[in-house]
Amino acid sequence: MSGYALEVSNLVKTFDRPAVNNLSFSVNGGEFYSLLGPNGAGKTTSLRIVAGLLQADSGGIHVFGENALTNPVGVKRMMAWVPDEPMIYDRLTPLEYLEFVAGLWEIESSQARKNSEELLDWLALAPHAHERCEGFSKGMRQKVALAGALVHDPRLIILDEPLTGLDAGSARLVKDVLLARVEKGCSVIMTTHILEVAERMAERIGVISKGRLIAEGSLEGLRNQTGDKANSLEEIFLELVEDDDNEALQFETTQGQGKAA
């Protein structure tokens, strides 16, 4: 049996242009993996496909060895999806929302209550447990959404820019919760534009550009690839993306010259 939490193989998705272009990568069990790329690189599209919210044109996805295409419900039970814009029910309180989500996962009511209260306490939402979510700030809503994603104890957590709009205190709480889950064996894959977060939290980093994986490895491994062991992740990222843009431009120029000839 595979030891991977997530295996993505030759994933392709095209809209008016290729958004995901033969993308392959894997996330180990108990690993914090960060997927980085410039705007429009295909990060969100890729993770939406993994989460079962979009259908790929081709390619394969396995979660803990289970085929996501042939067993989508079973795979979804093992994972959680947290988008950049929190989607919660405004008319519910955080406790009501968590118990509602737990019910969808068919969690026994007393266990659902226990999980919900622990998550609300962990994310500093306990004082607001009985307030309606409609009056919450984006940061509070994001924490409620994260709690909802974790209430069924997923083995794989997929997050798309989870720290966007959070103040420093809320961001710290979210990061602590994620790292605590990883310490217990959970796997996390996260996109972020805050490169310092990826540098501090991720065990491995994948860099994608134009829907393709252009580099992958630990921070030290990426430094070796770019040839400067003193570089920060920001410097490495910019260099990798710039090199990929230059290669693409060279390819387009060569193709154009061939057609002209």
Cα distance between residue 64 and residue 62, in whole Å: 6
* CA 137 to each of CA 89, 96, 177: distance values in angstroms, whole numbers, following the listed order: 14, 18, 20
Percent of the chain with pLDDT over 90: 77
| Residue 250 or 224, more confident | 224
* Amino acid 86: pLDDT: 86
Give the count of alpha carbons within 13 A of 87, CB side only: 7
Residues 102-127: what's their mean pLDDT? 94
In the predicted model, what is the mean pLDDT of residues 85-91? 91
CB distance 189 to 33 below 8 Å: yes
More confident residue, 43 or 232: 43
Average pLDDT over residues 216-242: 87
Q: What is the pLDDT of residue 198?
A: 94
Averaged pLDDT, 102-125: 94
Name the more confident of 254 and 175.
175
Instruction: Give the residue-averaged pLDDT of 134-162.
Output: 94
As a whole number of angstroms, the distance between CA 233 and CA 240 comes to 10
Read off the pLDDT band of 61 (50, 70, 90): very high
Residue linked to tokens 């990426």: 222
The whole-number pLDDT of residue 2 equals 53
Per-residue pLDDT, 60:
96
CA–CA distance, 237 with 226 (Å, rounded to integer): 10
**Average pLDDT, whole number, for the chain?**
90
Give me the pLDDT at residue 99, please: 95
Mean pLDDT of 125-134: 96
Per DSSP, the three-state class of 32 is strand
Tokens standing for residue 114: 């226990």
Query: What is the C-alpha separation between 70 and 190, in angstroms, rounded?
Result: 25
Mean pLDDT on 120-129: 95
Calculate mean pLDDT across residues 36-60.
95
- Nearest 10 degrees: CA dihedral of 52, 11, 62, 68? 30
Q: How many angstroms separate the CA atoms of 23 and 64, rounded? A: 19
First-residue to last-residue Cα distance in the chain: 53
